[in-house]
Copies of this chain bind each other. A is one copy, B any other.
Amino acid sequence: MSDPSFQPDEAEIERRVEALLFAAAGPLSAAEIGARLPEGADVGRALSGLRARYEGRGVELDCVADRWRFRTAADLAFMMSQEREEPRRLSKAALETLAIIAYHQPVTRAEIESVRGVSLSKGTLDLLLEMGFVRLRGRRRTAGRPVTYGTADRFLEHFGLASLYDLPGVQEMKAAGLLDLSAPVGFELPDPSRATGADEEEAPLLDEDSPEFAQDFVGEER
């Protein structure tokens, strides 16, 4: 056991964080790491120190979904044929749906269909949910209280994104109004896929507004 009177210095803290991240089976948050270090240890400093130390190495430190992990360098992918898993083939429809959910979340099924102009085939959302890329987020406070979808941490982990702010091009799209779910005034494009499409003015969902959401779905969050 460690000697509690021993006050580790910065280098020692970095060593410990390194050991924890190497040994961990999944990404660790700074808080999780901190819980295993002596009181007052500067986890952030250790993480950035490690990140710099491993930059350009065969293994690099990465922040995904606000958690930290070591992973192999992307340019060495060609060597990893033995470790590679056969990727699950996602159809164009599934990929587009995933992108719409990622960039527009929380988003209802009807809204996804509105962006694509086609109704979602039953299996598409199920598949994304099953793969752990997408999760149920809550309910929209509108008639019918439709369920809203968002991405799960696994999506960020899979694509190596630190947070949703790091989605490629998200700032530009937002600036161009392309992520706005409410249609421009007077927009009356026919939309056979949307039987209930008339109601565009849906209030943004606030978690505290829907306590039953917490009951229904919080267990699914990680």
Which A residues have a C-beta under 8 Å from some C-beta of B? 1-2, 14-20, 22-25, 36, 56-59, 70, 72-73, 76, 78-80, 82-83
CB neighbours of A22 from chain B (8 A): 58-59, 70, 72
CB neighbours of A56 from chain B (8 A): 15
Q: Kindly report how many copies of this chain are found in the complex they form together.
A: 2
Q: Which residue of B lies closest to A25 (CB)?
A: B83
Do A59 and B18 touch across chains, with their CB atoms under 8 A apart?
yes
A128 vs B27: C-alpha distance when bound (angstroms): 35
Beyond contacts A19-B72, A19-B76: 14 other A-B pairs, Cβ-Cβ < 8 A, are A1-B78, A16-B58, A16-B79, A17-B58, A18-B57, A18-B58, A19-B80, A20-B58, A22-B59, A22-B72, A23-B80, A23-B83, A24-B83, A36-B79
Separation in Å of the A56 CB from the closest CB of chain B?
8
A79 vs B58: C-alpha distance when bound (angstroms): 25
CB neighbours of A57 from chain B (8 A): 15, 18
CB neighbours of A76 from chain B (8 A): 15-16, 19
A22 vs B25: C-alpha distance when bound (angstroms): 12
A8 vs B1: C-alpha distance when bound (angstroms): 44
Separation in Å of the A40 CB from the closest CB of chain B?
16
Do A19 and B78 touch across chains, with their CB atoms under 8 A apart?
no
Do B79 and A20 touch across chains, with their CB atoms under 8 A apart?
yes
CB neighbours of A79 from chain B (8 A): 2, 16, 19-20, 36
A83 vs B36: C-alpha distance when bound (angstroms): 12
Separation in Å of the A49 CB from the closest CB of chain B?
12
CB neighbours of A70 from chain B (8 A): 22
Separation in Å of the A41 CB from the closest CB of chain B?
12
Do B1 and A72 touch across chains, with their CB atoms under 8 A apart?
no
A79 vs B41: C-alpha distance when bound (angstroms): 14
